[in-house]
A = this chain, B = another copy of it.
Amino acid sequence: MPAFDEAAALVSIPDAGAAAKARRRQDQLTKPAGSLGRLEDAGIQLAAIAGVCPPPVPEPAVVGVFAGDHGVLAEGVTPWPQEVTAQMVANFCAGGAAVNVLAGHVGAAVIVVDVGVASDLPAHPRLRSAKVRAGTANLAEGPAMTESEARQALDVGAQLAAELAESGTRCLLTGDMGIGNTTPSAAIIAALTGRAALEVTGRGTGIDDERWAKKVRVVEAAVARLGAGADPLEVLAAVGGLEIAALAGFVVGGAAARLPVVLDGVIAGAAALVATALVPECAGYLFAGHRSTEPGAAAVLEHLGLAPLIDLDLRLGEGTGACLALPVLQGAAKILRDMATFESAGVTEDHG
């Protein structure tokens, strides 16, 4: 069976019993009930995901950085040339990019996956070659890829997640690289949330008004071409990206292995929308690493009911926001595992 289908069949909703146990434990720990706010919620969700309380600390963690190119660059949606995707992959391999620094800082490993970079890339121990095609077609002119290619990319992500889980990884972080990829992300978000292109199309790495207006028109037209009845796979193939498809597979693969999956920004958000549209049960395994300044990111968080662990006006991508959120998530697990209870510490509870 293809890796994605296998993963999809395995996903079940997180364990409500373990969540209830974690909720009770939060109230026994030496702190006023609820005083650790959303850190308590994160701990409860980790318990539900692992099916046990206290939950294991989500480590070791791996950032899967999926890379692909985009035919839509022909429309002038970004000032960055396509060659930067491959150059940045080389930078990831050499360890000089922001995601390398922040992943190293939080103790996460980085794996780069070429799922659709336009040029041939030299082999590197940190690079997995899984190219489905050498960049998407221009989504302004027709489908970005075929449904078969979209499925292959879903498999790439699901397969990596399964392998990482098998070899002991206990937390997946999403990363991405692809010059132009905020355009397909905006199109997916518009198509799957029903929001207007204008609302969910941002300035990506930083573009001027003219370019932004052009980008909005491209997203609008692509979504209009899809029509209302398109299923998630059609949406993904028509207006998506290869790295976005692979990330959707990575999310579902993580959920299948009962691992927490920390989303980075708007690209990961688009992938999470696809993943949850295809396999609704995977929603319970998701954490929003941060809230990107890209407007589409906020739309995704609202649609999925996720609150970000970090909120620092990041808009870089690569997995940087997911990395910064990892220590928070690990702290949430350690609170449940290591804190004293009122009883064990001999601390008086409040008198109401």
On chain B, the residues within 8 Å of A320 by CB distance are: 36
A88 to B348, CA, bound (A): 9
Given the contacts A36-B98, A37-B314, A91-B345, A328 and B335 also touching, CB distance less than 8 Å: no
In the complex formed, the residue of B with least CB distance to A37 is: B313
Contacting B at CB under 8 A, from A196-235, are 205-206
Q: Contact check, B347 vs A105: say whether CB atoms are below 8 A apart.
A: no
B-contact 0/1 string along A73-100, CB 8 Å cutoff = 0000011110110011011001011101
Contacting B at CB under 8 A, from A304-339, are 309-316, 320, 323-324, 327-328, 330-331, 334-335, 338-339
In the complex formed, the residue of B with least CB distance to A29 is: B98
A98 to B345, CA, bound (A): 12
Count residues of A near B (Cβ-Cβ below 8 Å): 62
Q: Contact check, A335 vs B98: say whether CB atoms are below 8 A apart.
A: yes
Q: Contact check, B32 vs A87: say whether CB atoms are below 8 A apart.
A: no
Q: Contact check, B29 vs A330: say whether CB atoms are below 8 A apart.
A: no
Q: Contact check, B98 vs A351: say whether CB atoms are below 8 A apart.
A: no
Q: Contact check, B330 vs A84: say whether CB atoms are below 8 A apart.
A: no
Q: Contact check, B87 vs A348: say whether CB atoms are below 8 A apart.
A: yes
A69 to B309, CA, bound (A): 33
Q: CB of A13 within 8 A of chain B?
A: no
Q: Contact check, B312 vs A328: say whether CB atoms are below 8 A apart.
A: yes
On chain B, the residues within 8 Å of A31 by CB distance are: 97-98, 316
Q: Contact check, A350 vs B79: say whether CB atoms are below 8 A apart.
A: yes
A303 to B174, CA, bound (A): 37
Q: Contact check, B328 vs A35: say whether CB atoms are below 8 A apart.
A: no
B-contact 0/1 string along A233-275, CB 8 Å cutoff = 0000000000000000000000000000000000000000000
In the complex formed, the residue of B with least CB distance to A205 is: B32
A-B interface, 8 closest residue pairs, ranked by CB to CB distance from nearest: A96-B340, A37-B313, A32-B205, A35-B316, A327-B327, A79-B350, A38-B312, A87-B347
- Interface CB pairs A-B, < 8 A, 16: A29-B98, A30-B98, A31-B98, A32-B80, A33-B206, A36-B314, A87-B346, A90-B345, A96-B338, A96-B344, A97-B339, A97-B345, A101-B339, A104-B338, A205-B350, A311-B311
